[in-house]
Amino acid sequence: MKNLLTAATLALTTLAGGAALAEDYPERPVMMMVSYGAGGATDFQARIVTMTAGNEDALGMPVAIINKPGAGGRVGWNWFATQADADGYTLAAYNVPHFIAQSIKGGVEYSTDSFEPIANWGADPAVFVVAADSPMNSMDDVVTFAKDNPGKLTFSGAGLFVGHHIAALQLEKAAGVKMAYIPTKGGGAAAMKAVIAGDVMGGVNNLSDAFRAQEAGNVKILGVFDLERNDFLPDVPTLKEQGYDIDNASVNFRGIMVPKGTPPEVIETLAATVPEMFNNDRVAKKMAAGGSPMHIMDREEVQAMWAAREETLKALLAGL
């Protein structure tokens, strides 16, 4: 009798294997890899949006953040694509357009096909800044100067093949001008320092950082590289409003993904709970306090966004 019961249980367990796995998931704490250093914007936001993961209405298990920084995120994402276990216990933060642009440029072991998106938590658009005492007051001033002095307008941004660089390329293309993009090492902070100190004439930077620098009276923000104006900067027009055909391809989207091959039931569970987890008052309050714009998207929306981004970037980066 006992044996029979055991056999029956075993059979049932095997039959219901997938379902049981999804039902029990997660049984232990989950790890999330961030491919930028501790304390950076991505790390800082990743910690905030996962701080309620242990709640019963979220995952019911805490999320531990592991940092694997290096080479603009390539080190962490390479690791995630080739070595992370696809069992739902290893998540990662993605930064779009960064990882997609890097995979188009080559030399890395991942592409959009290596990962499965779960949900998006934030969107930080790029903006164009100049020093507070700059004679330029609009994007037209910038473009006029660039037209009169081809290749002489220096402007900074955080490296090549990141959101800032994409915005720079879009601006050059849309305005039909040649400018001197100066990539800095050390992220947006170093690029902002170059603008404030007068090392360069302008720069592309994160909206959140530029907003603070403008509040402090150090810079002027001349335009937002997004489809709509931002709540933080209701008075700053988008590039499109100023007559330049530029979309939101440079907006830095941040969210959670898992490696390809993760069981579909686990992906379903995550896709159902994670957007809810982001949609939490405490999370929203902390994100707003840090000046980090939130933008929650579900799995299907992110899949569409990734596909659209890949197409735009391929066209933009062709021949570079």
Instruction: Give the binding site for other proteins (CB under 8 A).
Output: 37-41, 43-44, 47-48, 51, 66-72, 74-75, 78-79, 82, 102, 105, 107, 109, 131-133, 151-154, 159-161, 180, 182-186, 189-190, 192-194, 196-200, 209, 212-213, 215-218, 286, 288-291
C-alpha–C-alpha distance, residues 207 and 216, integer Å: 14
CB of 62 to other proteins, least distance (A): 11
Q: How far apart are alpha carbons 201 and 135 in whole angstroms?
A: 10
Contact between 259 and 81 (Cβ < 8 Å)? yes
Q: How far is the CB of 281 from other proteins (least distance, A)?
A: 15
Region label for 128, one of left (φ > 0), alpha (ψ between -120 and 50) or beta (otherwise): beta
Give yes or no for a contact between 110 and 81, defined as CB atoms under 8 angstroms apart.
yes
Q: Which residue lies nearer to other proteins by CB, 131 or 267?
A: 131
In the complex with other proteins, which residue's Cβ is closer, 133 or 231?
133
Cα three-residue angle 189-190-193, rounded to 5 degrees? 90
In terms of CB distance, is 20 or 180 closer to other proteins? 180
How far is it, in rounded angstroms, from Cα 161 to Cα 169?
A: 10
Least distance in Å: CB of 264 to other proteins? 28
Name the residue among 213, 194, 187, 125 with its Cα closest to residue 155.
194
Tell me how far, at minimum, the Cβ of 146 lies from other proteins, in Å: 11
Which residue from 316, 246, 267, 285 is spatially nearest to 52, judged by alpha carbons?
A: 285
Nearer to other proteins, 174 or 180 (CB): 180
Provide the minimum distance between the beta carbon of 279 and other proteins in the complex, in angstroms, as a whole number.
19
| Residue 50 or 262 having the CB closest to other proteins | 50
With CA atoms as reference, report the closest residue to 46 among 256, 196, 235, 285: 256
Token look-up 């159902």 returns 272
Closest approach of Cβ 48 to other proteins, in Å?
A: 7
When the beta carbons of 183 and 237 are compared against other proteins, the nearer one is: 183
Tokens of 135: 């004679």
Q: How far is the CB of 213 from other proteins (least distance, A)?
A: 6
Please tell me whether residue 123 adopts helix, strand or coil conformation. Answer: strand
Torsion angle, CA of 225/252/155/134, rounded to 10 degrees? 60
C-alpha dihedral, 97 to 217 to 190 to 145, nearest 10° = 70
Q: Which is nearer to other proteins, 79 or 244 (CB)?
A: 79
